[in-house]
A and B are shown apart, each in its own frame.
Chain A
């Protein structure tokens, strides 16, 4: 990723490999536990830029959650009623995405660089195979598309907008703060609806609009305790879970009538 075409700065004569700029970063927590009192979490990422030449540096932090296909429908007016269109499936969308940087991404690098790195909500790889195809599941036809024609970008923007509304996608041009010479920190806010799984945090150092150093850190979001037990039970053995849940409800109803018996 260290680009060979970094223009050599005029003053220091040919930077030796030892003095090549390096970025280093760590997360305060590497696992987030989702328990019954989970109300989202804030993870602090801190790191440092080591650059002997002290060239102007930009730091970009990209956090991606596990991939979740997105099904989205558009409301259309049919005979005076607002109805959902047939759902469209987008593949490759992360379940959580956050881009933080010390200044807006557009000021740091060019469009093509950002697109290549998938940095920023506008550059997320939310798409599908190049052609339109129709998948049939349980006898229902879903359109899986990457090109919906001219309104493709409306759909794409809608995915990002709706994900942003639920706090799952976020781009913050002021999310990385330099606290001291070369030392920076960023906060990653996980909403309650953040999916469980392994998250990847890429910390990129930009100089002159080019990524020159990268560090990758992983973050695991997992359900623990009762929440995990119930979730696993409900998904691994759904029938026994359903029977037990219903038996519990019926016994509770019976117990209540016995407790409140007035005669």
Chain B
């Protein structure tokens, strides 16, 4: 059953897209991530023009994050104040990112920046996560005790001005690092078509030193605000949001996420992290590999000839 997408102007197999949404939704529910980093490359692989895939993903990520954040807020696992600071940064980042992406598209370098961003961020994050989780698994196998987590926060977190109290996270730090982090993730969300959870979560744990309990819920809040804004901006500035595509992904994604969340209880946290790290690493390498090999077709047609 094929369906014609009005904005992407291509015909896609509807059950296939719903299944893709369900698969990524399952992974996203299982690992507590948005899954945009996985979905956007796959949509491009299925023939959706990259600008449409990137923009429509914002709607999908916002919806799936919305469905999860409610569950987290019921468990009081959302630091609203920290979320607001991150989101404020995210808003700045989204504005910058959408304009940057528009400019890169006109320059013809959007593909390059997308590939490089995927290669760089996904391989670094994936690599670090894999090392950390494999280390934990090995130590547990050998029966060694886990090394105590260093709780000393970096000095610069305290040296910066504009300090603010975050009671839920038990933090008293400058607002500059969370603001900058939010802005950075906002730019990435516009360029890569991702929510940015895969960068936000580790950064909140290891850089901001937030307690693990509030990290995922708070990051989801920031992701909703950023992707909601990105989605509206992409539609308004670039006319690249395909509501039919986003809806198809949504239907599969929502159902998949629920089953994923149930499946995740069967695995240990470090095993989940190791699997996720492998997926992240593979996607990053796959996206970046094209940069190093001579293409079969030396020419590429670019979208957006009409500006």
Contact bitstring A154-169, B, C-beta under 8 A = 1, else 0: 0100110111000000
Q: Which of A74, A83, A238 has the most chain B CB atoms closer than 10 A to its own CB?
A: A238
User: DSSP majority for the B interface?
Assistant: helix
B239's contact among A71, A137, A193, A234, by CB below 8 Å, is which? Answer: A234
A241 touching B65 by the CB < 8 A rule? no
- Please, which residues of chain B bring their CB within 8 A of the CB of A261? 71
A227 to chain B, nearest CB (A): 4
- Please, which residues of chain A bring their CB within 8 A of the CB of B306? 69
B115 to chain A, nearest CB (A): 9
B66 touching A254 by the CB < 8 A rule? yes
B63 touching A257 by the CB < 8 A rule? no
B246 to chain A, nearest CB (A): 6
Is A42 an interface residue when CB atoms closer than 8 A count as contact?
no
Contact bitstring A83-104, B, C-beta under 8 A = 1, else 0: 1111101000000000000000
B-facing residues in A178-221 (Cβ within 8 Å)? 192-193
The answer to whether A74 and B6 touch (CB under 8 A), given A249-B62, A250-B66, is no
B-facing residues in A217-242 (Cβ within 8 Å)? 223, 226-228, 230-231, 234-235, 238-239, 241-242
| Residue on A nearest B300 in the bound complex, by CB | A73
The answer to whether A246 and B4 touch (CB under 8 A), given A253-B65, A257-B66, is no
The answer to whether A253 and B232 touch (CB under 8 A), given A72-B301, A227-B6, is no
The answer to whether A70 and B305 touch (CB under 8 A), given A39-B2, A158-B299, is yes
CA distance A77 to B7 in the complex (A): 33
Is B302 an interface residue when CB atoms closer than 8 A count as contact?
yes
Is A111 an interface residue when CB atoms closer than 8 A count as contact?
no
A-facing residues in B211-233 (Cβ within 8 Å)? 224, 228, 231-233
B305 touching A68 by the CB < 8 A rule? yes
- Please, which residues of chain B bring their CB within 8 A of the CB of A193? 9-10
B243 touching A248 by the CB < 8 A rule? yes
Is B234 an interface residue when CB atoms closer than 8 A count as contact?
yes
B-facing residues in A41-65 (Cβ within 8 Å)? none
Is A140 an interface residue when CB atoms closer than 8 A count as contact?
yes
A223 touching B6 by the CB < 8 A rule? yes
- Count of chain A residues near B, Cβ 8 A: 65
| Residue on A nearest B229 in the bound complex, by CB | A246
A41 to chain B, nearest CB (A): 12
Q: Which of A39, A86, A140, A249 has the most chain B CB atoms closer than 10 A to its own CB?
A: A249
CA distance A187 to B292 in the complex (A): 43
Is A107 an interface residue when CB atoms closer than 8 A count as contact?
no
| Residue on A nearest B64 in the bound complex, by CB | A253
B285 to chain A, nearest CB (A): 15
The answer to whether A140 and B68 touch (CB under 8 A), given A235-B239, A238-B236, is no
B298's contact among A71, A158, A231, by CB below 8 Å, is which? Answer: A158
A84's contact among B108, B232, B235, by CB below 8 Å, is which? Answer: B108
Is A12 an interface residue when CB atoms closer than 8 A count as contact?
no
A91 to chain B, nearest CB (A): 9
The answer to whether A162 and B292 touch (CB under 8 A), given A239-B235, A249-B63, is no
CA distance A215 to B299 in the complex (A): 36
CA distance A68 to B60 in the complex (A): 31
Is A142 an interface residue when CB atoms closer than 8 A count as contact?
yes
Is B107 an interface residue when CB atoms closer than 8 A count as contact?
yes
A220 to chain B, nearest CB (A): 17
Contacts A82-B293, A140-B106, A257-B66 given; 10 further ones with Cβ under 8 A? A68-B305, A86-B107, A192-B10, A238-B236, A238-B239, A241-B243, A245-B231, A245-B246, A246-B232, A249-B228
A-B contact pairs, 7 of them (CB 8 A): A36-B3, A85-B108, A139-B103, A142-B106, A230-B7, A249-B250, A253-B65
